[in-house]
Amino acid sequence: MKAHARKHAEATEPHPEAARRQAAQGKLLARERITAILDPDSFHEYDLFVEHKCSDFGMEKKQLPGDGVITGTGTILGHPVAIYAQDFTVAGGSLGLAHARKITKIMDHAIKLGIPLIGINDSGGARIQEGVNSLAGYGEIFYRNTLASGVIPQISIILGPCAGGAVYSPALTDFVFVVDKISKMFITGPEVIKTVLGEEISMEDLGGARVQAELSGNAHFYAQSEAECFEQVKRLVTFIPWNNRKRADPFAAQPPEAGALERIIPSESNRPYDVRDVLRSVCDGADFMEVQALWAANIVVGFARMNGRTVGMVANQPMVLAGVLDVDSSDKAARFIRFCDAFNIPLVTFVDLPGYLPGVDQEHAGVIRHGAKLLYAYSEATVPKITVILRKAYGGGYIAMCSRHLGADFVFAWPCAEIAVMGPEGAANIIFKGEIAAAADPEAFRREKVKEYTDKFASPYVAAANGHVDAVIAPHQTRDFLLHALEISEHKTEERPARKHGVPPF
């Protein structure tokens, strides 16, 4: 037993100088991170004594505890998870074949056991001494990331450098967490960019946490500290199921915060408001966990509970770009919808948008292709889909935001909803272009026609008369209608034509 204790201590105690450097950067050690995330005493470590087999470039003389990565299983608030953490104090957390095989082994366990996988990335990249074997290790991880996609939730936490090919593993996972001044993600670093392009940029400005959460959209959650990040991970795990065969665990139902939905939305249809106030007013306990809050803010996505059960919420945000759909917001919503559909999470969509963002930049950036992702995601989803039209629902935006025509199970609209091909101003200008030009008082005639169009089409009743809207409801009835729709959709089944897989507009 003494020999075992000695070997265990040699394998787990960090090198003092490496630990000091880690602390100097404001970073916890790998084991401290695992302990901080998991329930006390729940972590069970595997493959502690795995060693590399490399004998080139002096590697045969080097002993690397755990080969630079810690793997095991544990629980978060009682939920089982598989977890690995790269240890930067051991050879910079560099990835060799044995290191990779430890990760792929715990990934295989997670897939077989049907439990979420959490990966903590803190690595200098491929272990150069191992040559192509390091690249093979990355490839085997990417392969399993893909196999696990839609089967178990995959969570990546970036707590150090994650560069080169290594960044593609987090990119293949469902949620990426980053921490300010600690997380760094990029394909090619500042030195390579300077050499090839002559451009100078700092590591932080190139791929720091804020950049990934706000500009690139690669990160889903942003935190100021590792402790805040771990609390975000724990909270997320309560909203999602263990695997694609289960539903998220139910919680005790809570009433929403008392609030008057009627007062959230301004009477003038062109005045902005924060749609998150609407979401918090209908969900349990006003508890809404927003995903990608800093990126593509013209659309809001996230998790909440209705009567104790998890739902995914998607909503246009009138506070940002009037809530229009564009390249980034379409990507953001489409990916979230596909996650919810893969993991049996019903979708609730709130609509208030004037349409797609016009402009040369958007057209050249591929808004057609990206916008189609949203159509595809909603149409493909077979979970319960419920839509509430709050205010504007114009043109292609009306169709794209989970309309009846894309398979919504229930569509409700508030009395102030405006469902039409376009806004009354634009419509009147086009329909009556000739008459307006020939009128004695063109402006007065135009205003008359705008009012005529508004009275006829800028309401929910034409759509309701055609069966495109199931019910026109008062704002205070929203939660009741949503709860009932979710309850009666509990055992919804919907089949799709047999096929190997679809071909979404990636």
Given a contact cutoff of 8 angstroms between Cβ atoms, the answer to whether 111 and 76 are in contact is no
Put simply, whether the predicted model's pTM sits higher than 0.85 gets the answer yes
The reported pLDDT for the residue numbered 269 is 82
List pLDDT tens digits, range 159-187.
Answer: 999 988 889 999 999 999 999 999 999 99
Segment holding 170, helix H or strand E:
helix 168-172
Confidence of residue 432 (pLDDT cuts 50, 70, 90): confident
Q: What CA–CA distances, in Å, run from 17 to 8, 21, 368, 385, 493?
A: 20, 6, 54, 55, 58
The reported pLDDT for the residue numbered 81 is 97
Q: Which residue has the higher pLDDT, 497 or 261?
A: 497
Q: What is the mean predicted confidence (pLDDT) over 53-61?
A: 81
- Flag whether pLDDT at 203 surpasses 70: yes
Q: What is the mean predicted confidence (pLDDT) over 103-127?
A: 96
Confidence of residue 155 (pLDDT cuts 50, 70, 90): very high
List pLDDT tens digits, range 304-330.
Answer: 999 999 999 999 999 999 999 999 999
d(CA 146, CA 4): 38
Sign of the dihedral defined by the CA atoms of residues 425, 428, 434, 438, in that order: negative
Chain position carrying tokens 């008057």: 260
List pLDDT tens digits, range 119-133.
Answer: 999 998 888 888 899
In three-state form (DSSP H/G/I as H, E/B as E, the rest C), the secondary structure along 218-229 is CCCEEECCHHHH
The reported pLDDT for the residue numbered 453 is 85
Closest listed residue to residue 118, CA positions, set 230, 248, 244: 230
- Flag whether pLDDT at 8 surpasses 90: no
Least confident range of 196-210, 232-246, 314-328, 424-438: 424-438
List pLDDT tens digits, range 437-491.
Answer: 888 888 888 888 888 888 877 899 999 999 999 999 999 999 999 999 999 999 9
Q: Which residue has the higher pLDDT, 348 or 63?
A: 348
The reported pLDDT for the residue numbered 258 is 67
Q: What is the mean predicted confidence (pLDDT) over 222-233?
A: 97
The reported pLDDT for the residue numbered 130 is 87
d(CA 321, CA 389): 18
The reported pLDDT for the residue numbered 435 is 87
Q: What is the mean predicted confidence (pLDDT) over 30-40?
A: 97
- Mean pLDDT, the chain, integer: 93
Question: Which amino acid is it at 414?
Answer: W
Q: What is the mean predicted confidence (pLDDT) over 273-301?
A: 96
- Flag whether pLDDT at 136 surpasses 70: yes
d(CA 239, CA 248): 6
